[in-house]
Every structure is written in structure tokens, then in C-alpha cells.
Chain A
Amino acid sequence: MKLLVCVKQVSESEAAITIDPASQWVTIGGTSAFRMNRFDECAVETAVRIKEQFPGTCIHILSVGPERSETVIRRAIGMGADHGTHIVTPSGGFVDPSILAGWMATLREASGADLILCGAMSEDLMQGQVGPLLAECLSLPCATAVMHVKIMPTGEDVQVEREIEGGYREVVVLQLPALLTIQTGINQPRYPTLSNLLRANKLVLKTLHADGIDAPPPLQGVKQVTLPRKLREGVFLEGSTAQKAEQLITILSDRSFLA
């Protein structure tokens, strides 16, 4: 079986984020660390488990992003994937998800895959769109927020459980080839092994540049980015740890929460 897993590099959730002077986009603090999107880690783990179950399965990793994104492809290979492609974009700025999906759909590894796995969303932009749009570009059936994956013995279908609100799940059978977006909680992604990492670091990844791929004009853009509106006038407690603790006790006690 041929699997394609799409992964994205995101900044650490505690990264210092500032708004650029023209309020057009954000800048991530220079010293901030980057890592693989957690949803995508779960997608890679799902793929590696399928490979363990069906020997002969080949896992290809695809990432779209600036030069630094290459490290997440190597990490996914370290987790047990076979090969990877990097579509290099200029750093920064917003790209319409339909254009991202269009770029990804041009790859032979996408159109030839039996199963494509994506994260349900990225932790930074939280759009949840690239997966379903890629499915649409390739005319594949798609299921999102997947919490359980089972390849049927015939190898022609995949049965999944989608998470819906209120503790319910939907059981869906999709004909292969298909695309799934993976929800966190489906598994605990493994750490890369040393031997796999050594192999990943030696591997020459397929690289192509986004500006060399034909794309239609974007359908959406960013007017501005701002700091969010405060829903409550939060009071920041000042002083030492002990002083903050004492202030909090007074506040809670005044409101009879300690009684």
C-alpha cells in the first residue's frame, strides 16, 4: 500500500508572537523553537502502525513550508516513514488553503496514494481545510476528525470512526483511495529511533519550489491581524509567588469560594 502523510511545521505554543508593523501578518520570535504539528504526528503514527500491519507499505511524507520545515519531514522518517518531499515556500505570510492543496495535488505521490493522512488541523492557523481540500482536488472520499482507522482485509476499503460532539462517534467506510484527517487522542506518537534518524538525515529529500507550480488566483486573504479583544478585564496579580498566592486567597475568600 502507498501512503502519503502531510505534515506541517509549527512554532512552539509558547513562542513569542508579534504583529508585524503593517498589521498584515505575525512574526515568530527569533529564538522560538519549531516542531511538528501534533495532529500530524498522530497522522504519521497512524501510518507507521498501518505499515507494521501490512508489510510492504510505503510511507511518503509531504510538507509545504519554508526551508526550516525540512526537519519535520526528517523526524517523520525517523518515526518510520520511507521518503519525503518538501514544497518550499517563501517564509511568512498567509497562503490560501485552496492554493496549498492545489500545489500538493500536483505530486505523483498524492495522486498515486492509496491512502492520504493529514492532521485534522494545524495548531497555528487552525483552519482544518488543507486535508478536505486536497481530497477534493483529487476527487477522493474524505473523513475528518478520525479517532480510529481499520484497513479492511480486502484492502479496498478503510473503516474509520469520526469524532463528533457530545461523546459520539460516526462509523464511516470509505473506498480506497481516500483521505483521512486525524484527530489528536487517536494514538500516542512514538519517538523517532536512532537508526531511523540516521537514515533520515542521510536521505536526499525531493524538493520543489512553490513558485514553480501553476496555481489559480487566491480566493481569500488577510485584511489585518490584531490582538484579540478582551472578554473580561483580567487583573494580573503582581509581586512574588507568595504574594500572588496571598492575593488570590483574599480574592477567593472575599467571594466566599473558600467557605
Chain B
Amino acid sequence: MRNMIQSGSIVVIAEHFQGEIRPVTHELVRFAEALQEVRPTGIQILVLGEKVEGLAKSLAKTTGKDVLGILAPQLTRYNGQAYKTVLHEVLREHPPAYVCVAHSSRGSDFAPGLAMRMGAACITGVSSISVQEGVICFSRDIYGGKINADMVSSSKTTVLTVQPGSYGPTPKNDQAGGKVYLKSVVVVPQASTTLSTTAFQTSDLDLSIARIIVSAGRGIGEAENLQLIRNLASVLPRSVVCGSRPVIDLGWMTYDRQVGITGAIVTPDLYIACGISGAAQHAGGMKGSGFIVSINTDPMAAIFNLSDICIVEDLMTFIPVLLEKMAEQRN
């Protein structure tokens, strides 16, 4: 059986869902290219699943990289145990220097365990690469994005999960496509089985048509205070009220209004972040907005690093004053 993985290379694990390559895979390729600039070596993409031949071919064409498609007939759905077992099997003979995985729900599910099986360090949620004193550093957010930590690995192989939204998609490949290698594996039964993948919450609410999004975070304190956010939205034309994850978790708003990596990715002309800390999870869902205004009591809140206008105020004080002033000006 041919194995095209080379020792010391950079391996990208493609993420796919319902027969399609997830956009984050292209960000992983961009990340791998950035890593290649500081650590010259080959890049290979690995795609694992039941019927991935087509995906492997299309990846090789769109990225120009060599792709190894691992055909696992038993792997009809994503399963963490199976992913760890198969990837470890494929990678252990020629350990790559880096394994790049999406910092998505699935990537985060298998990456740490895979790293441990390979004796590799695992650095999660990486947003950029730098070289300091000759050492390659992987930058990640800590403390809700208030602080940035540059991590270094001391192991031969390092597994990295890359924060979605940190690297743009790969520019369209106009060179020749990469080579496609295929390998079949048998997945032995695992201690866990994935039964189904189901759409849990869907809605007809189309956030893309909103020109303005007024978004509430944990800083609103009480569910009743949401009314204040709604009042603000009511005087802003073509606006919609949304929220960050904590507000949805608390059941104060429905999931279809959740902005962030695990919710909706929005790009309105104006985004007003009310009491939102601005951790990567949320930032990834709104940082492409045209103009960003943030209101937060904490002057160190990470949201201010991606805002055009920063207002250090308590929402409960500020919004009523703002509404009053707006009413005065209208009259």
C-alpha cells in the first residue's frame, strides 16, 4: 500500500461534512503555507471517510497540493475514536512535523487524543505563527482574548488546531493540481458509535439581510434587560437583535440569533456589541462587520481590539441615555 506521507512534513487534515469540504479546510491550507515559510518542507492533505475519492480529487485540483484519500467504508459518519485510530495508524510510520486540524467541534474532539497517541504536543486554537529568537511560536488567545500567549512545542511532532477565521481561504490554484493517492483501511469496531447527524435547530431568520445587528452578551446581566437591547434596535432601521453564546445558553434568545463560530457568521454594515467580551468564539462570527461599536464595562475586554468605537459604560445606564438623546434629536 502506498503511503505518501513524508517524515517531517506538514499534514493538513481536511474537514468535510455531508459530502462537502468545509471552508475551514482551505484556511488550514493557508495556515500550512504560512508554516512552510518558516519551516520549509512538503505539505500533504489527508481526507478520511467512507467515500472520499471525489473530495480528494477536488482538493488536489483546488489547492495544488498532494492529497491522500483514506477510504474507510465503515466510517459513514465522523467518529472520534475511529479518527484517532486511523490517523495514528497512517501517520506513525513517517511522523510529520506538524498536523494541522480545524479548531472546530470535530477537530477539537480528536486532536488532543491523536497528539497523545503520537507522543506529540497539542496546541489548540492557534490564530497565527511567528518566529522569536529562532523558535517557531504559535499564538493563541487566553482569558477571553484579553491576552495572547505564544506557545512553543518541544516534541518531534506537533498537532495544531487552527482557529477558524484566522486565515483567509486559499487563493484559487491556477497551477497544475496535486497528486491524488488513495488508501483503503478497515476500521475495527470502536468503543463508541456515531448513530446520526441531525439538524437540531433551524430557522427562517435570515441574518444576512440585516443592515444593523444589535447584539447582547453576558454583560446584560438579566433576561429582563434584553428589552433595553430591543428598544435600541427598534429605533435603528433594518436592524435585528442577536446574542453571544452565553445569552443563548441561558435560554434568553433562540439559537438562530447566536452569533459566533458555533452559530451564525454575520457581516452587517453596523454591529453594536452590548456587554460582549469578544472571545475568539464570538469574534470569529462578527469581525467582518462593516463598522463595529462596542459597549462594555471592562476597558480590557477583547471586543475593543476589534471595534471602531469603544464605549466603557454600563449598558443599563448608557442605553437609556442614548435612547433619550436619540428621541430628543428626532423631535
Contact = CB atoms under 8 A, between A and B. Distances in A.
A165 interface: yes
B148 to A, nearest CB: 5
A132 B192 contact: no
A225 B148 contact: yes
Contact of A184 (B104, B151, B245): B245
A162 interface: yes
B79 A223 contact: no
Contacts of B294: 234
Of B137, B195, B200, most A-chain CB atoms within 10 Å: B200
B311 A237 contact: yes
Contacts of B305: 228-232, 234
Contact of B142 (A13, A125, A184, A251): A125
Please tell me the size bucket of the interface on B: 35 or more
Of B110, B116, B121, B249, most A-chain CB atoms within 10 Å: B116
Contacts of A221: 151-152, 154
Contacts of B152: 220-223
Contacts of A228: 141, 145-148, 302, 305
Contact of A237 (B191, B197, B309): B309
B105 interface: yes
A43 to B, nearest CB: 14
Please tell me the size bucket of the interface on A: 35 or more
A244 B148 contact: no
B121 A220 contact: yes
A185 B248 contact: yes
Interface string B55-81: 000000000000000000000011111
B301 to A, nearest CB: 8
Contacts, number: 270
Contacts of B123: 220
Interface in B300-322: 300, 302, 304-313, 317-318, 321-322
Interface of B: 17, 77-81, 104-106, 108-113, 115-117, 119-125, 132, 135, 137, 140-155, 158, 190-202, 211-212, 218, 236-237, 245-246, 248-251, 255-256, 261-263, 269-270, 277, 279-280, 287, 291-294, 297-300, 302, 304-313, 317-318, 321-322, 324-326, 329
Given A162-B109, A163-B105, 18 more contacts: A17-B143, A17-B147, A123-B144, A126-B142, A126-B279, A140-B191, A142-B81, A142-B109, A142-B113, A142-B192, A145-B108, A223-B135, A228-B141, A229-B305, A231-B305, A234-B308, A236-B299, A251-B293
26 contacts: A13-B298, A124-B142, A126-B124, A126-B140, A128-B108, A133-B112, A145-B105, A164-B104, A167-B199, A167-B256, A169-B198, A170-B78, A171-B197, A173-B192, A175-B191, A178-B192, A184-B246, A219-B119, A222-B150, A222-B152, A223-B137, A224-B137, A229-B148, A232-B308, A241-B321, A245-B318
Interface of A: 11, 13-14, 16-17, 19, 26, 38, 94, 96-98, 101, 123-129, 132-133, 135-137, 140-145, 159, 161-165, 167-175, 178, 184-185, 188, 217-237, 241-242, 244-246, 248-249, 251-252, 255, 257-259
